[in-house]
Structure 1
Amino acid sequence: MLQGPTRAGLVLAAIVLSPFSVPAFAQSYPTKPIEINITYGAGGGVDLNFRAFAPFLEKELGQPVVIVNRGGAGGVTGWTFIARAKPDGYSLGNYNLPALSANYATGALPFDPVEKLQYLGQIAFDPVVVAVSGKSQFKTIADAVEFMKKNPGGLSYAATGIVSSDALTAKSIEVAAGVKFRIVNFDSGKEAITAALGGHVDAVGLTVSEAMPYVKDGSLRVIGVGGDQRDPQMPDTPTFKEQGFEIQFNGSARGVTIAAGAPPEVLEKLRAAVKKIATSPGYPEKAKELGLAAVYAAPEEVEKTIAGQIEWLKANLKR
């Protein structure tokens, strides 16, 4: 018959060896390669951003991190895949704001991104800008707004679809200033830029990283930039806020997400890794090479932002 101490020892051993032991699971994760599913095609700005981020996450977690491109339908294809993936910490994804919020607000995304995704933290922010040809009469967004008030519908603006950051920049200005752009949609950002360079449209919506090559050679002039402070890459360009326009969408925010339901210990480890990478030397310098600022935002802040964006979009997109 088993003696008391021996029985107790066996019970303790059973608990330690149990597959349901949470501490053991937490310590073992990750044990295999991790995917980051990118909702856009290879070679684009988002793809390049996460390819710069991946080696740092790989080093932090001690496992290979593989980029998998799942582009299509403006990001909807990829986000749907991410939301349906097993939330075990091995299938992560990117989020882009306001694109994610806008796809849900317009009905293109078949699930609520606050309910079906959990956020690991923001890793980059790319301020939006409105740019015009270097030969344009407009020097500031205030000039453009004044023109639109005197000439309703008379200022053409190149965009790439209703949920794109360029279109949402225009919508933000319209609501803030009480004016209306004449939107001209193009299939790609490259075509929109070409139209602005050639004088076929009066203005184009871009981000700082997209605009900088053309600003440097003088072919485009930025007349307003998003954010509370001037962008260090274009310190002479006043923000929209400085010019008296409090706009809803000030830039493209990028971060990491996972399907809802991840084990708390895995979630905690991933969130800690994302925060450390985004706020420590190394990755921020790589992001800067891409024209991006490594601006961290905590998961709860990201969720709050998404909820606020969805509310604003539902109220204003049809105006």
Structure 2
Amino acid sequence: MNKFVRWSCVFAGVLLSSVAAQPDTIWPTRLIKATIPFGPGSATDVVPRIFFERLGPELGQTIVVENRVGGGGSIRTNAVAKAEPDGYSILAHSSALAITPAIFPNLPYDTSKDLSSVIMIGSSPQIMIIPKERPWKTVDDFLKDAKAKGSQINFGSVGVGSAVHISAEKFRLAANFEATHVPYRGGPEVIADILGGRIDFYFCPAATALPLIREGQVRALVVSTDKRSNELPDVPSMTEVGLKDGVSESWIGVFVPSKTPREIVDKMHDAGVKVLAKPEMQAALKKIGVEPVPMQPKAMDDLVAKEVVANIELLKNVK
């Protein structure tokens, strides 16, 4: 090979490397597809949509949001985890992401290895709501009755292993009482049966619970977090009622395939931080009881990994 050909090959290799690296620096150049693996109207649908509506303009591209339900969220989560790691397939998920491995030990993806965190949009309490016709005015009232009735007491959730199911089980185990779990297909069905008095309690996401509480359609007994919610100053926290082991908090965040270039993750994270700092975004989240938490990607990865282990241990104690 003569010198000219050799240097031409070297130049071509450098040029191709430059072109290959270019998408990382100029991303995004086309629309982004965001998957929400839960049905429309749920808290895990409402919060990301509010966020993506503002994130798109911040990135200079359109974000198309799709609801794809199935397998407790695992089917579409797997699709994103195995998607091309180019920043154009993103996932909005909730605390349930760290619960699914405890329910389905043979998932086709590894939560900690196949997905990378981008940003936590926010966190909020689950609120224990009861039918307004029930006689219980406080958690103590409820627990006295629940311990006397045993499994006659029932509670709803949006499915085995959902974040609201975990909140209810943590409360039940911390307070040491029996209850019958009634899983539903989705939040609207649970709410319908709470309003109809067919189930006794439901740990409801704040975004859904607050309007019902404000309108007097249901009664709130406790919030699942360590401290009271600013939106419900008269409702005690789990710690205040003496059940610190029952504390739980729901979060919603954005994820991408794990091999997505760091430049893209950082750019998306930085844009998300700007969005969450906007007064109109904070007002929109506050209205539905969500506190913005622009957690760094590494810190969020660590949180998810920690919760996966904790949830596996918790569900060993659930019948």
Q: What is the TM-score of this pair, normalised by structure 2?
A: 0.87
Correspondent of 1:62 among 53, 60, 63: 60
Number of aligned positions between the proteins: 310
Structure 2 unaligned residues grouped into runs of 5+: 1-6
Matched residue SS, 1:125: strand
Contact 1:15-1:21 at 8 Å conserved across structures: no
> Which amino acid in the other structure matches residue 304 of structure 1?
D
**Residue identity (%):** 27
Matches within 5 A, 1:227-242: 227-242=225-240
Change (3 A) 1:69 1:192: closer
Change (3 A) 1:70 1:192: closer
User: Equivalent residue for 1:82?
Assistant: 80
User: Equivalent residue for 2:185?
Assistant: 187
Structure 1 unaligned residues grouped into runs of 5+: 1-7
Contact 1:168-1:249 at 8 Å conserved across structures: no
Change (3 A) 1:91 1:216: same
Matches within 5 A, 1:200-215: 200-215=198-213
Moved more, 62-71 or 76-85: 62-71
Correspondent of 1:107 among 83, 101, 104: 104
Matches within 5 A, 1:135-154: 135-154=133-152
User: Equivalent residue for 1:306?
Assistant: 304
Distance across 1 between alignment mates of 2:221 and 2:15: 64
Q: CA deviation at 1:40?
A: 1.9
> Which amino acid in the other structure matches residue 253 of structure 1?
W
Change (3 A) 1:111 1:50: same
Change (3 A) 1:26 1:186: closer
> Which amino acid in the other structure matches residue 104 of structure 1?
P
> Which amino acid in the other structure matches residue 72 of structure 2?
G
Matches within 5 A, 1:267-286: 267-286=265-284
Distance across 2 between alignment mates of 1:57 and 1:200: 41
Matched residue SS, 1:67: strand
Matches within 5 A, 1:161-172: 161-172=159-170
Distance across 1 between alignment mates of 2:177 and 2:313: 17
Distance across 1 between alignment mates of 2:140 and 2:286: 29
Matched residue SS, 2:203: strand
Spell out, residue by residue over 1:129-181, the C-alpha distance to the aligned partner (whole angstroms, 9 max, x if none): 11112232222223323333344324222223211222111111122222222
Matched residue SS, 1:316: helix
Contact 1:170-1:181 at 8 Å conserved across structures: no
Q: CA deviation at 1:248?
A: 5.5
Contact 1:93-1:256 at 8 Å conserved across structures: yes
Moved more, 199-208 or 72-81: 199-208
Distance across 1 between alignment mates of 2:252 and 2:25: 28
Q: CA deviation at 1:213?
A: 2.1
Contact 2:128-2:224 at 8 Å conserved across structures: no
